[in-house]
Every structure is written in structure tokens, then in C-alpha cells.
Amino acid sequence: MNIETIGMFCDLADLKNLSRTAEKHGVSQSAVSQQLAQLELAHKCQLVDRKKRPLKLTAAGELFYQAAKDILDRYNRLNSELAALGRSTTRINVAAIFSIGMHTLQPYIKTFMARYPEVNLSISYASAKEIYQSVLRGDVDIGVVAVPRQDRSIEVHPLEEEPLVLVCSPGNPLLDKSPVDRQAIDIHQLQGVAFIAFEQGVPTRTLIDNILSRYDVSVCTVMEFDNIETIKRAVEIGAGAGILPETTIQAELANNTLKAMPFSNEKFSRTAGLIVRKDKTLTQASRFFIELLRKKE
């Protein structure tokens, strides 16, 4: 039994579903079943009633679940304290997804440094999955992600929503489908168009897929990338259109390498958020950084 297995069991108990637990941990359903079987074999008891749908813990499973949560909380707290010992109290480690880190954080970093010049503010870039893991381990003080998910061990500080717009090259025929001087476009005009998308598993991809599905629009996905910068380059060369946060394309709009239009149906947007482990003790400087971004001072 290891800490990863304990964490997987707790998620299985919370989600009550093998496939959703497997998806959260990036493994197969079979792997989750095997880990559960090993736990039951090690403790010589049945922890989950597999005949129930959704899955239900047995009495032994409930007892194990409470103990497992306590172990996870203590383990995460230990990691946080050990990490704090290994670095200066005048250092704040922030991990952000690339789009928000490059296009949203930069002006506020200058404001923060002017207020706390003695604090070493370290900004790194990673995928959303890596950021959640780093925050939970205590390697990162503050994470910055898009479409933040709920987690029992993480506190989310919502940021201002980013408008989502249609993005295409200047010569794309979609520009001619805007009924009012290219000021807005009906999302149904995207039916069947060549589309540049985020990779599967990226939270923004899930958000955009849900929007298209809600309007019963099927696009022809010709390319998938894990970051906004590559998507923008593909759109610029005319490989297809995309849907991106408006804040991330200001330079391209100014240089006329991309065109953008909002949607006439409704104002679509992407929620961003700061994530912090719930038992994390934040310094005054860290709290200022969070409030700075939340208030957009």
C-alpha cells in the first residue's frame, strides 16, 4: 500500500465511479480495480460493494476511508512543511498554464514586485494536471489554471472571466458570414468548418466542446495542440479557425495576423482561478498576490 493507492481509493469513494476515478488519475479502469483488489487482499476484507450502482462502500470501506483521508491530510501537511524548510520564506512559487502566465499575469507581477521588492516571485509554466499535482505536494504555493475544478484539498480563488471569441486568419471565409460589419457571428456558422482545437484532456477543450455540443454544432477538427501559442500559429497560416480567450490574441490583432469576432448567440467565457492547498499557510505577500489578481488592481 502506498500514498497513491490511498489517494485513488479516496477518490473512488468520493466519485463512486471506476471510470471517473481512472480518468482523474490518468490510468485505466482495470488499474483502479487492481489497486482496490490489492487493498482488500492486504486487509482481508471487502471495501466496496461492486454490485451497487453507483458504487458503495461497505462498513469496512467507510472505516478505511476515514483513516485514509486522515493519512492523506497528514502526508500533504508533512510535504508542505518539508518544502517550506527547504526554501526561503521570502520566496513564492507560482505555477501557471502558459496562456494565463504569459498574457494575464505579467502586468500584475510588476505591481507585486514594486510592493514586495524583497520577495523572490518565481513563475513557472506547466500543464493544468502538473499544476494540481505540484500544489497538492507543496512544491508550488499558488497555481493559476483555467476552468478550475473542485477538489476536497484545494481552495479556489476565482479570477475575472475571459471572453471567448472566434479566431481566424484575415482571409477566412467565416469573416464574410458576419451579418453586421464583421462585429459578431452566429456559432452555427461553424458547422463543418476546419477547426484548430486544444488537445483532449485540456480543460479549455472540454469547455469549448460543451459549448459546441449545446448548440448542436459539429466542427471538423483538423489539428489539436496543448497550448494557445501553437494554435494561434496554425490559425494564422489558414489551417482552420479556433475559439480562444480574447486576452491571448491582442498582439496578433494589433499586427493584423489574426481576426476575431464575438458570438451573437451569447457571451461565451472561460473562467480562470488561483488554486491553493487548503491547509497551506500563506504569507502576507502571498495573500497580497492573490488579492492583486482577484481585484485586478
Give per-residue pLDDT as tens, 223-242.
Answer: 999 889 999 999 999 999 99
Percent with pLDDT over 90 in the chain: 67
Q: Name every residue whose Cβ is closer than 8 Å to that of residue 103 and which is 6 or more positions away in sequence.
A: 245, 247, 248, 250
Looking at the structure, tell me whether residues 75 and 15 fall in a common domain.
yes
Domain termination residue (choose one: 18, 49, 83): 83
Banded pLDDT at 98 (limits 50, 70, 90): confident
Assign residue 84 a region (left: φ > 0; alpha: ψ between -120 and 50; beta: otherwise). alpha
- Domain of residue 117, residue span: 87-160+271-295
The beta-carbon contacts of 36-45 under 8 Å, at least 24 apart in sequence, are: 36/9, 36/12, 38/1, 38/5, 39/1, 39/5, 39/9, 39/64, 42/1
Cell numbers 471569441 correspond to what residue? Answer: 165
CA 6/CA 11 separation, integer angstroms: 9
Q: In terms of domains, do 128 and 206 share one?
A: no
Q: Same domain for 170 and 229?
A: yes
Closest C-alpha to 167, from 235, 239, 233, 103: 235
Gap between the Cα atoms of 33 and 6, Å rounded:
13
- Do 261 and 120 fall within a single domain? no
Structural domains in the chain (count): 3
Across the range 249-267, mean pLDDT stands at 94
pTM score? 0.65
Gap between the Cα atoms of 98 and 62, Å rounded: 40
Quick: pLDDT tens for 117-174: 888 999 999 989 899 999 999 899 999 999 998 888 999 999 888 999 999 999 898 8
